Structures are given as structure tokens and as C-alpha cells.
Amino acid sequence: MDRSVVDLLNQMPERNRYIRGLRSWVGFQQTAIQFERDPRFAGEVKYTFRKSLSLAINSLVSFSRVPLRIASYMGLISAAFSIVMACLVLYWRLVEPNSPVTGFATIAIAVFFIGSVQLICIGILGEYIGRIYEEVKGRPLYTLAEVGGFDR
């Protein structure tokens, strides 16, 4: 890495750094270098599946609010599903008034709808927490490769 990229990465105030993502985030020009890795001479791989999964979760959480939005989306989908179920139960009630399924289904729909409202509320809280997290990280709004015309 170029010294200016390293200096910029060292200025980031984050504690849990995902260097692979931050390296791309700073916006400098990157070049891939192809190389052949020799097979392992001895020993076992130290980077286990659990560590790889932890790295993947860290990358997802560090650069995306999608996991927080999933609760909102799931809540909206389940609310729509419960409304469709309520329409079906109402139809059954009108067509077959003595059906034993309608009593249980009404309770299930109520529980399902209340759960979906809770998921939507959790999603809204997640959005606020995600925005707070972005601010607390303290990343600069932009980075400059060079500054010209100013004395240092």
C-alpha cells in the first residue's frame, strides 16, 4: 500500500476495523497483483470456518445497514401475509359459518399481526441505531488524494 493510504487508514478512529473494506472505502486507485501461492508445506490451516464467518459478519456489519433493515422488511411482509390470511378467514366465515378452523385461525392471525408490528418497530429502531453507529464511527465524509495550493 502507498504511504498516503496507510496514513489515512491510521487516522480512522474505529476500533473494529475491517481493513479489506476500509482499503476500498478510502477511494484510492487499486491494482490487483496475480500470484501463485505455494501449497502449505506443513501444519494445518489456522483460519477456521468460525473465524471466516466472523470476518464475513464483521464486513457486512461495518459497511451495510441491510441487516438492520431486514427486520422492517420481514415485518412488512408478515403484516401483508396476515392481512391476506384475515381476508381468507373472513371469506371462510361468510361461506362456511360453522367451520372449526376459523376460531383457531383468527387467534393465529392476531398473534401473527402483532408479531409483524413488533418486527416493524424493531426495524425502525434498527434504522436509528444504524444512523447513530455511522456517526459514532467518525469516518470522514470524503478523503483527498492530494491538496494543492495550500501551505502545510
Read off the pLDDT of residues 62-110 as tens digits, 9 standing for 90 and up: 777 888 888 889 999 999 999 999 898 888 888 887 777 667 888 888 9
Convert the pLDDT of each residue in 127-138 to its tens digit: 898 888 888 877
150 inside domain: no
Pair 133, 76 in one domain: yes
34: left (phi over 0), alpha (psi -120 to 50) or beta: beta
Decide: helix, strand or coil at residue 37: coil
Pair 85, 52 in one domain: no
Pair 132, 74 in one domain: yes
Pair 72, 59 in one domain: no
What span, in angstroms and rounded, lies between the C-alpha atoms of 124 and 72?
7
21 inside domain: yes
pLDDT at 120: 92
pTM (predicted TM-score) = 0.63
Q: Write out the residue range of the structural domain in which residue 82 sits.
A: 66-137
108 inside domain: yes
Pair 125, 106 in one domain: yes
Domain count, the chain: 2
**How many C-beta atoms lie closer than 10 Å to residue 149's C-beta?**
4
CA distances 141 to 15, 62, 89, Å, are 18, 16, 52
CB 75 within 8 A of CB 122: yes
What span, in angstroms and rounded, lies between the C-alpha atoms of 72 and 126?
9
Pair 77, 14 in one domain: no
115 inside domain: yes
143 inside domain: no
Half-sphere exposure of 88 (CA within 13 A, CB side): 10
